[in-house]
Structure 1
C-alpha cells in the first residue's frame, strides 16, 4: 500500500507519520508521496491532501482543527467575507505556529483566530473540524450579530439545524445568546439577504423573506405591499448574464407597480444606513408621501 492509498484508508482529514507507518508505509514512501504532490506535509509529522480546504489545512498547521466560521463553511454554510481561519485548540496545546503572511499584510496583523472553549461533541476527524453543534455555538459567541444570524440561516437552509442540533446549541447559550435563535429564517437565499433582513427588522420594518410575485417569481424581501428589496450576492449576481436577468426582472416589477430597491454586495455588508434610508424613502413613495 502506498502513502496515498494508506491516507485514504485512514478516512480522516489528516494523518500522522506514525499512522502511515502503522499501515505499512515506509519513511521513503511518505517522502515520495510528498515529492509527487500526492500529500502535503502541513505540519511536522502531519499530512493532508492538496485539494482539501485551505483554511482547514491552516488550522492543522497552527496545531488544531477548523472551528467557528471555518468549520461551518466546511459544511457549506455562509462564510463572512475576508474571514481568517478559525482554529480550535486543546487547552494543553503547545508548539503552536503562526501562519505565513503575504507581503501585503502587515506582520502585526493576526493570521488566524484561536478558540479554546470546551467542546460539546467529538471532533469531526473526517473534516478536520469541530462538530456542527460546536461550530454553531462558536459562531454565536464569536461573530457579530448579523453575521452570526446569516451563518445560522444558511445552516437552517441546508437542513443542518434540525430540532436536535438546535436544542443542543441552545442548551449551552446564555439567555442573551439564545435570543438570537429567534431571528433565524431558513428561507433566506444568501448571507447578504439575511443581513439586510435583520437591518430592516431592527428598524421596525416587517420585511418578508422570499415572496412570490405573480408573473415574476421569487423576490428576496418585500416591505409593505409594494416595496421589493433585491440583495445581490457575489455568487448569484456577478456575471453579465445574471445581471441582465436581474434588470429584466426589475423592469417587469416596476411595470407591475412595485418599487424595487436593489442592494449590492458591498452595501449589504457595509452601508446599512444607506440601505435603510433607501427603503424608507421607497415606502414613503409607495404611500404617496
Structure 2
C-alpha cells in the first residue's frame, strides 16, 4: 500500500510514534526509518528528512519526548533574545533524571511551573528566569551576548529590572553574580543599551559632573519623549547616539525634528556619537559641564 508521507506527517512534518502507528503498522514505520525516508529525531518522535534538522521542529519534538519546560539558551532564543541553534535546553522536575536524549540538555529544578509562559504554544520559562539561568550556565554563549539579552529583555518590556533582581536573589551562588547585579542596577537606573551604560559610567557619573536624571519623560504637543539623560535645573538633555540606530539619514532628520520640538519648551539637546563617547570621554564631560554652567547663568541669573 502506498502512503502520502506529507499528508501522514501533517503540516509540520513530524509526528509521534503513537500518532503514526494509529494509521500504519509498526513494521512499515520501521522500514521507512531503515530506508531513510523517515527520521527518528527524539524517542517516540519521527520527522520527514526535509524538516528533521529544523531547529523549531527539534524543539517541539524535545518537548513532546521529555515533557519539560524550555529554558536557558533555548528559552532566550524563543523570546528573540539569542539566535536559535545548539542543543535544546529543558527544565524538568527535580525527581526526574538529569540525563536527556541526544541533542537535549536537561536541567532539574524544584519549581518547574512557577516561571512557565507560552511562546508559539510552547512551554517556556519567563524571560527573567531564562536570562539568569543562562548567565549561570552559558553553554557556549558569550557573556557579551547575555548582557545584550538582559538589556533587550528590559527594553522590550519582556521583564522588569526588579524581576531580574528577584531571580538573582534566589541564586546566592550564581557564577558571575556580581557582574549581573551591577548590570541590573544600571538597567534599573534607566540605561537601555551598552552605549548608555558606557556613557553613564564613564561620562555622566564621573567625578565633578552635575547630577542628572535618566530616561526623563518630557511631553510636547501631546507626545511623550524620553531623554537619555536630563539636567532638569537647566533644561539640558544629553542623548547618546548609537551608530547603528542613528547613522541613517532618516534617523538624523528625526533627531533634528525632535530636538527642535524640545527646544520649543526650553530644552537644549547635546548629542554624542558612539565614537565621541568611547573615544573622547573627557571632551564629552568638558562639553557637558561647560553648557550646563552656561545655561545656569542664562536661566538662573548666575546662581551657583
TM-score, length-normalised on structure 1? 0.54
Partner Cα distance (1:55, 1:132) in 2: 20
Structure 1 runs not aligned, ≥5 long? 8-13, 98-114
SS of the aligned residue for 2:217 comes to strand
Corresponding position of 1:74:
78
Partner Cα distance (2:277, 2:77) in 1: 25
Corresponding position of 1:183:
186
Distance change in 2, residues 1:135/1:257 (3 Å): closer
Does residue 287 (structure 1) correspond to residue 287 (structure 2)? The answer is no
Deviation at residue 287 of structure 1 after TM alignment: 3.4
Distance change in 2, residues 1:168/1:272 (3 Å): same
Does residue 150 (structure 1) correspond to residue 145 (structure 2)? The answer is no
Does residue 197 (structure 1) correspond to residue 196 (structure 2)? The answer is yes
Mapped contact 1:229–1:260 kept (Cα < 8 A): yes
Q: Determine which of 5, 10, 15 is the counterpart of 1:4.
A: 10
Q: Deviations over 1:153-172 (max 9, x none)?
A: 236x23x4597786455312
SS of the aligned residue for 1:93 comes to coil
Mapped contact 1:263–1:275 kept (Cα < 8 A): no
Q: Give the structure with higher Rg (CA).
A: 2
Distance change in 2, residues 1:41/1:170 (3 Å): farther
Partner Cα distance (1:67, 1:133) in 2: 11
Mapped contact 2:41–2:47 kept (Cα < 8 A): yes
Partner Cα distance (1:2, 1:87) in 2: 27
Distance change in 2, residues 1:56/1:173 (3 Å): farther
Deviation at residue 221 of structure 1 after TM alignment: 0.3
SS of the aligned residue for 1:185 comes to helix
Q: Relative contact order (C-alpha < 8 Å, sep 6+): which is higher? A: 1
Partner Cα distance (2:270, 2:135) in 1: 32
Structure 2 runs not aligned, ≥5 long? 1-6, 91-97, 207-211, 295-304
Partner Cα distance (1:198, 1:124) in 2: 30
Does residue 135 (structure 1) correspond to residue 130 (structure 2)? The answer is yes
The number of residue pairs the alignment matches comes to: 238
Does residue 249 (structure 1) correspond to residue 258 (structure 2)? The answer is yes
Deviation at residue 85 of structure 1 after TM alignment: 3.5
Partner Cα distance (1:134, 1:223) in 2: 32
Mapped contact 2:78–2:84 kept (Cα < 8 A): no
Partner Cα distance (1:228, 1:254) in 2: 13
Aligned pairs for 1:15-54 (under 5 A) are 16-21=15-20, 24=23, 43=41, 45-47=45-47
Partner Cα distance (2:40, 2:267) in 1: 58
Corresponding position of 1:112:
none
TM-score, length-normalised on structure 2? 0.52
SS of the aligned residue for 2:155 comes to helix
Corresponding position of 1:261:
271
Partner Cα distance (1:288, 1:133) in 2: 41
